[in-house]
Amino acid sequence: MTVGPQRHPSRDRVTTHEHEYELPYGGNQREGQGINFVPGGYYNDEDLKHSKEYWRSEGADTDPKIKAEAGGVMNYAQGRLFDPEKHEAAQRQKLGRERFFALDPAAEQIRSKALQSSTIPTSHLQDRPGRLFTDVQTHNEAGRSWEGSGTAGWYRGPATSSTPDVIAINPASGHGTDTTFIHEAGHRRHLGETSWDSEYVSSPKGLHPDPLKEGVADAYVDRYGGHGNTQVRPMREDVEAGGGQKFTSYQFTGYSSDKERAKSFGWNEDDRAVYAATRGHASETGEQALYVPRGRDVREQQGLADYGGGNPTTDATLHHLLSTSPHAAQALRQTGLKDVGARAFRRHRDRELLSSGQAVQGSLFNELRGVSSGKVHGYTPNIDAMPEAKTDEEFEAKFEGMHKDIDRLEGPAGEMLWPEHMSLNQFGEKPRTQADLANSLGVARHHSSKLGFPER
């Protein structure tokens, strides 16, 4: 895993200046035979002029050794005018013509415009062994019209050895055909080697559109749409405005995490969280999320657990994303879905406890909590966790020490304090109770008590 902030391909574009000269030798400092070559790099016209004047003053025009030491600065004809963005765009176009087959002129124009403006890596356009090209078309499936469908485009795949996968674009869509093309190319990247009904990429509730698939595809536009793309621009403007709010635009761009719009897709709040977390992670890292399939425990009361969400696979997926991706957690905070993710996280933990039982680890300390406020004001050693007292005097000394801690803190706290045991379970959290499990999963008491869940 790469550590530290990374340049975002579209949002953090580095502008290439005109008339830059690339010096030879690829940036390697080479020493040998008394010649020290100039490290490779880029010189603009002004810098190159000053560098040449310096080496001329050193005698590079008359002394072959000094000229060789100056390397590419004096032999600038070995360099070349170089625009890496234009070079990569040309490569995208070349590979795009080979991998995205467009039969009609309208589809060809859409493909060309989208690839030209995007930052899709050329590695994503390489041939896939045993697979055919992707067919790009502007017509809908046979006998069906785009009119009234509200659809901007769709992807069908994966390809087989005899049947290509398909990207279809609605040319009359108001969503922008270049954005739609990149979005559907994102589906191709995500699903190009996976069956459409795989449990790893398809909603456990059979949702269409699927929040995870659409999150990944919208993230592909975020990441590779290009500097001026209508989805990238709000992200960049939010970041440039200060505060590092990369993900607030998710509430109104792409499929969006908007509550009212999500209702039209049949998404509940957990599905919205899957969309936002998936999109945030994929946008920032380029990694494509998958569902984490998880079955329901037979002891769960399904009706209660399903109220407001609680699907085991959805919960496990959010738990995985929030455990491994700071970008997913940040996306939920900035789209107002932090509490939704936290509830799913806890439900998954409860299922883990339910299946494995609860191991409780005692603590060396007690929390000193206010009797009225419940606030933690400090800590005192847990005398039960200390070495066994061999005499009554030793026990009294330990007990007196604990009460001295209480007396010392009660005055500043302004209320009575009471020591509360700081036991932790195997997840490092306060032990769960039967009531906790019943509230989140609807587990019968006689089931949970056998697995070490105490009465409240």
297 and 336 in a common domain: yes
The rounded distance, in Å, linking the Cα atoms of 9 and 171 is 27
Q: Is 80 exceeded by the pLDDT of residue 107? A: yes
216 and 264 in a common domain: yes
For tokens 């206010």, the residue is 370
* Local confidence band at 40 (pLDDT 50, 70, 90 cut-offs): very low
* Local confidence band at 16 (pLDDT 50, 70, 90 cut-offs): very low
327 and 211 in a common domain: yes
Task: Residue 24: name the closest of 42, 48, 6, 36 by CA.
Answer: 42
> Is residue 99 one of the residues assigned to a domain?
yes
160 and 106 in a common domain: yes
**Strand 376-381 and strand 365-370: pairing?**
antiparallel
Q: What is the pLDDT of the chain when averaged over all its residues?
A: 82
What pLDDT, on a 0 to 100 scale, did the predictor assign at position 78? 40
The rounded distance, in Å, linking the Cα atoms of 214 and 256 is 9
Q: Is 70 exceeded by the pLDDT of residue 310? A: yes
Which of 30-34, 224-228, 382-386, 404-408 shows the lowest mean pLDDT across its residues?
Answer: 30-34
The amino acid at 66 = I
Q: Is 50 exceeded by the pLDDT of residue 188? A: yes
404 and 298 in a common domain: no
Domain termination residue (choose one: 81, 96, 125): 81
Domain termination residue (choose one: 39, 55, 81): 81
* Local confidence band at 454 (pLDDT 50, 70, 90 cut-offs): confident
What are the distances in angstroms from CA 389 to CA 7, 136, 172, 218, 394?
Answer: 61, 80, 84, 64, 5
244 and 228 in a common domain: yes
pTM: 0.76
What pLDDT, on a 0 to 100 scale, did the predictor assign at position 7? 78
Mean pLDDT of 368-391: 86
Give percent of the chain above pLDDT 70. Answer: 84
168 and 71 in a common domain: no
What are the helix (H) ranges across 138-286? 177-191, 211-224, 232-240, 259-265, 269-285
Range of the domain at 376: 360-449
Q: Is 90 exceeded by the pLDDT of residue 58? A: no
The rounded distance, in Å, linking the Cα atoms of 18 and 309 is 54
Q: Looking at per-residue confidence, does 139 or 82 come out higher? A: 139
Q: Does residue 209 have a cis peptide bond before it, meaning omega lies within 30 degrees of 0?
A: yes
Q: How many domains, in total, are found in the chain?
A: 4
Which of 8-17, 274-283, 307-316 shows the lowest mean pLDDT across its residues?
Answer: 8-17
Mean pLDDT of 213-242: 90
Which of 30-34, 168-172, 173-177 shows the lowest mean pLDDT across its residues?
Answer: 30-34
299 and 179 in a common domain: no
